[in-house]
Amino acid sequence: MAKINAPVYKNQELEGEVIDLTYQGMGVVKVNDYPIFVVDAVPGEIVQLGVTKVQKNFAFGRVIKRIRESDERNHEVNQAALTTGIAPLANLTYAAQLKFKQKQIQELFKKVHVQAEINPTIGMDNPVGYRNKAQVPVRKVRGQLTTGFYRRNSHQLVPIEDYYIQDPAIDKAIIIVRDLMRHYQLDAYDEEAHTGDIRTIMVRRGYYSHEMMVVIVTRRNKLPVAEMLVEGIKKALPEVTSIIQNVNSDKTNVIMGSKNKTLWGADYITDTLWGKTFEIGPMSFYQVNPQTTESLYSLAVEKAGLTGQELVLDAYSGIGTISLSVAAQARQVIGVEIVPGAVEDAKRNAKINGIENVEFELGKAEEKMVEWQAVELQPDVIFVDPPRKGLTPELIDAATGMQPNKIVYISCNPATLARDAEHLLENGYQIDGPVQPIDQFPQTTHIETVTVFIKA
Ligand code: SAH
C-alpha cells in the first residue's frame, strides 16, 4: 500500500475547532488545510477527537470530548436516529437546520456562477414524526428477527423502535408486524448469503384517511404462514386496509421487486391532498411529508400563475398530484411518468376526482419532451419534478425549445438544480424571483426547492 502523506495518523487524538458542516451533516475540523470529518460535531464547537480513518485528502474522526458546545446543538437527540443516518441533522437545532439548507443552496448556485436570491427555508412547526412512509430492513440480530436501520455507511442493522421522523402510528405498526413475524418464526433475510425470507417491511399511512398499507418484501414467492400473518395484522392494526407481498429475488440493494401480490384488502390506499383524493399503489412515489407537500404545491401553483387558458406539461408526474392540483386552473394538462403502476394510479385519480382535462403518458420524461417538441406542442407552463439526478440536457433543450413562458422546477437536490439552472440560463431563460426552499425532510440533509424560470 502506498504511504499516505497526511498530517494526522489513525488513532491520533487532537483538539480542534469545528469550522463547517459537510452536506452530509458532519463537522469539519482542519489541520493545516487538511479536513477531518467528525460525526456529531457542530460548527463553533471545540472538540477533542480521535482519528478513525486516514485517506489522502481527508480523514474521519469521532468526538472523545466536547470542550466547548455550540448554541446550535440540539440536546434532545435521538441517538439511534443520528448514528444510523435516519436523522443526520438531529444534533442541530431546527433553526440551524433551516439555515444550513439555505446556505447550501447559496453555495451551490455560486459555484456554477448563477445569480439567484435564496429565500429562508420554510420549516415545519413540529419537525418530527412527519414521514407517511417507512421502509425498514429486516435482519437477524443475535439470532432474532429484528427491524431497525443500518449504521451509517454500513449494512449492519441497528435495532430501532422509535424512528423519530416517522409517523408514530407507523413505528407502532412495524413493531407489531415484527412481533408477529417472530411469533411465527419467520426467517429474516441474510444479505451476504442471500438466504432467508423477509427482506423489508414497508408501511404507508394516509395522513388524513389513516388508511394503512403494509408491504412485506420477500426473497421468494412463497411467504410461509401468510394467512396467519395477515389475520394477526388485521386484528392488531385496524387501520390497515391493504396487505401486500412484494417479491424481490435479486441480490440487490434495491428494496422492491417488480411482483406484487395482494394478500388482503385493496391494492392501494387512499389519501387526500389539497382537497383531492389519491389512490396510491405500493410502487408509486408519493411525497413523504404530507404537511409540507401542501405548501410545496400551493407555492408551485401560485408561481405558475395559471389563468385557465394554459397548456401545462407535468414531467415526472408520479400519481398525478401536481397535474390534478393545477387542472382546474389550466386548459389542458399532460403528465409523463416512467413507473407503469404510478401512471395507472394517476389515471384512476383523475377519474375519481372527476377531472377530464388531464392525460398521463407512460415513458421517460426526457424522451417524451423530445417527441412533444417534434410535434410542435406549445406548452405555456412546464412543471418538472425530477428525482435526485435532475434533468438531462436533452430534456432541457427540448423543453426550452418549445418556448414555454414558465418552467417551474421542483427539486429534491440543489446540486443538480444548480447544474440545470446553468443550462436553462444558457438556453435563454432566467430565474424569476427567489429560489424557495421548503423543508420536506426535517432532521435529514435533504433539501426541496421551488424555482421558476421565465423566458429572458
Ligand atoms: N410530481 C410527483 C412525483 C415526483 S417524484 C409528486 O410530486 O408526487 C419523481 C417521479 O419521477 C417518480 O414518480 C419517478 O417514478 C419518476 N421518474 C423517475 N425517472 C423518470 C424519467 N426518466 N421519466 C419520467 N419519470 C421518471
Give Cβ neighbours of residue 339 (< 8 Å, ≥ 6 apart): 283, 284, 285, 318
| pLDDT tens digits, 232-278 | 999 999 999 999 999 999 999 999 999 999 999 999 999 999 899 99
Q: What is the largest CA-CA distance in the chain?
A: 68
Q: What is the DSSP letter of 412?
A: S
Question: Is residue 31 very low, low, confident or very high in pLDDT (cuts 50, 70, 90)?
Answer: very high
According to DSSP, the residues that pair with 271 across neighbouring strands are 278
pLDDT at 192: 94
Residues 56 and 147 in one domain: no
Residue keyed to cell 442471500: 194
266, 359: one domain? no
Considering the domain boundaries, does residue 18 fall inside one? Answer: yes
Q: 373-384 burial, b for 16+ CB within 10 Å, e for fewer?
A: beeebebbbbbb
Q: Are residues 369 and 448 in the same domain?
A: yes
Q: The domain spanning residue 36 has which CATH number?
A: 2.40.50.140
pLDDT of 1 > 60? The answer is no
Does residue 146 sit in the same domain as residue 223? yes
Q: Is there a domain that residue 283 lies in?
A: no
Task: Report d(CA 436, CA 4) in Å as an integer.
Answer: 43
Same domain, yes or no: 140 and 248: yes
Q: Are residue 260 and residue 300 in the same domain, yes or no?
A: no
Q: Are 232 and 180 in contact (CB under 8 A)?
A: yes
| 419-456 pLDDT tens trace | 999 999 999 999 999 999 999 999 999 999 999 999 98
Measuring from each residue's beta carbon to the nearest atom of ligand 1, which residues come in under 6 Å?
A: 285-287, 316-318, 321-322, 336-339, 342, 364-366, 385, 387
Domain-located, residue 223: yes
Q: What's the rounded mean pLDDT across residues 300-319?
A: 96
Same domain, yes or no, for 323 and 447?
yes
Number of domains into which the chain is organized: 3
Catalytic residues: 412
What pLDDT does 403 receive? 98
User: The pTM is what?
Assistant: 0.94
Do 295 and 425 share a domain, yes or no?
yes
In a shared domain, residues 258 and 308:
no
Pocket test for ligand 1, best of 297, 299, 316 (most atoms within 8 A of CB): 316
Q: Is residue 400 one of the residues assigned to a domain?
A: yes
pLDDT of residue 191: 94
Q: What is the pLDDT of residue 2?
A: 56
CATH number at residue 196: 2.40.50.1070
**pLDDT category of residue 92 using cuts at 50, 70 and 90:** very high
* Rounded-to-integer distance, Cα 369 and Cα 400, Å: 10
Residue span of the structural domain in which 33 resides: 13-73
Nearest CA to ligand 1 atom 20: 338
Indicate the residue among 214, 246, 273 that finishes a domain. Answer: 273
The region of weakest confidence among 94-98, 210-214, 300-304 is 300-304
Q: What is the pLDDT of residue 342?
A: 96
Instruction: Check whether 357 has a pLDDT greater than 60.
Output: yes
Is 47 a residue whose pLDDT tops 70?
Answer: yes
DSSP states along 116-182: --BPPPB--SS-SS-BSEEEEEEEEETTEEEEEEEPTTS-PEEE-S--SSB-HHHHHHHHHHHHHHH
Q: Report how far residue 405's alpha carbon sits from residue 386's, in angstroms, rounded to the nearest whole number.
A: 20
**First and final C-alpha spacing in the chain:** 55
Q: What is the pLDDT, as a whole number, of residue 82?
A: 87
> What is the mean pLDDT of the segment spanning 40-69?
96
pLDDT at 24 > cutoff 60: yes
pLDDT of residue 319: 96
Cell numbers 388524513: residue = 208
| pLDDT tens profile 370-419 | 999 999 999 999 999 999 999 999 999 999 999 999 999 999 999 999 99
Pocket test for ligand 1, best of 297, 337, 372 (most atoms within 8 A of CB): 337
What is the 271 CA–ligand 1 centroid distance (Å)?
19
pLDDT digits (tens, 9 = 90+) for 131-173: 999 999 999 999 999 999 998 888 899 999 999 999 999 999 9
pLDDT of 58 > 80? The answer is: yes
Q: Are residues 295 and 378 in the same domain?
A: yes
